[in-house]
Amino acid sequence: MVTLLVIIAYGLVVLFSASYSVSYQESGDSFSQIRQQLGFAVAGVAIMFGISFTDYRALRHLTWYLYFFTLLLLAAALFSNNPTNLSAKCYRWVEIAGVTFQPSELAKFSTILGTAAFVDAHQQQKGSLLYGIILPTLPLIPTLFLIFRQPHYSAIILILMIYFTMLICGGCGLKWMLPVLSVGVIGVVYMLTSQDNYVQTRLDGWTLFSSDTSTMTDQTEQSIYAIASGGLFGLGIGNSRQKHQWLPEVTNDFIFPVLCEELGFIGALVCILLFAALIIQGILIAMRSPDLFGSMLGVGIMGQIAWQVFCNIGVVTNTIPNTGISLPFFSSGGTSLLMLLGEMGVMLSISRVGNARIEERRRRKLEAFAKKLEHGTRSVYRRGGAAHSI
């Protein structure tokens, strides 16, 4: 929890520095974005603590309800006239009670919950192809189809990464996994590259082994400039130059280059180490879960954070092709932050139940030891009186 709160505070500081120029240009108020994000952070932390005091095992009963609700929202987004949809020329947002919501964020957790419930319910058959891969994949197809129609390709990639991470860690159909993954990767690449020139342009602009920035996409080129100018210790918090209308999406997908430019290699390293600590702690919590359902939930949630961090930093450093994936707890976006903090509440719930189980086991051992000690003391007194007493 402490690691998470440090990450949230770090993210809010970096976001304010990255957003004030854009906020002033858009609304004349330098504090507009950070004020909104701070409100979501406070609400999200409250939700996180509320969820942490409930038993995560109750989520098992919500699996299908959440699944169909997610499909409903994804379908509604395709017919929504939300201004964000029209300006971005895609259909990824719906408006609920005056609040814009991105259903693909809910789809990530819906996939995690559904996969965890299925693997737990079929523990004995999970090694087979049918129960290990085919059946758990069937409910995923409508979700991916609706997200594809938005279109939101990065969400598809991320959901598949989370899904297969859970299957592999759960020991599902391992002997079939390699050919299935190979076919899946080929299919996703073909699906993306055959649709339009947008994806192909991103792939053409990926120059991993080239130092010529002119062949990169504009976003990647400006990102490299920002990271390079940061040096070891950075230009100082608030002193980024690239965030002033040069680097696109500075408050979302490309917030990490602003961090690198202002805080340098040291600041970037601290950010990565904090995420590494959070992921390792999350994995330990998942391993201490009293049941497979909790372990799979923990693996899925931490897998989502790990893959998002990897893909976001990989994109901005030109390590992988450019795709729009936000940096958890740093990038702006109320839907993402609320969902992530809700999921961290589930992690805290798993931790509470796991710790309670360990404490109960310790208590029983101490009681058993005390009984043995008491029995041994009485035996000694009976044998020899005071001369043999302990």
Three-state SS string over 118-155 comes to HHHHCCCCCCCHHHHHHHHHCCHHHHHHHHHHCCCHHH
> 3 pLDDT exceeds 80?
yes
pLDDT tens digits, 58-104: 999 999 999 999 999 999 998 887 766 665 678 888 887 777 889 99
Residue 6 host element (H or E):
helix 2-27
**C-beta of residue 347 within 8 angstroms of C-beta of residue 205:** no
**Average pLDDT, stretch 326-331?**
94
pLDDT tens digits, 127-140: 888 888 999 999 99
Beta bridge partners of 100: 95
pTM above 0.85, yes or no: yes
Task: Give the three-state DSSP class for 331.
Answer: coil
pLDDT interval class at 360 (50, 70, 90): confident
> 389 pLDDT exceeds 60?
no
Q: What residue ranges do the domains of the chain occupy?
A: 2-365
pLDDT interval class at 209 (50, 70, 90): low
Spatial CA neighbour of 322 closest among 272, 259, 248, 271: 248
pLDDT computed for residue 380 by the predictor? 57
**C-beta of residue 205 within 8 angstroms of C-beta of residue 217:** yes
How far is the C-alpha of 364 from the C-alpha of 296, rounded, in Å? 27
Comparing 42 with 209, the larger pLDDT belongs to 42
pLDDT computed for residue 196 by the predictor? 59
Spatial CA neighbour of 24 closest among 33, 11, 35: 33
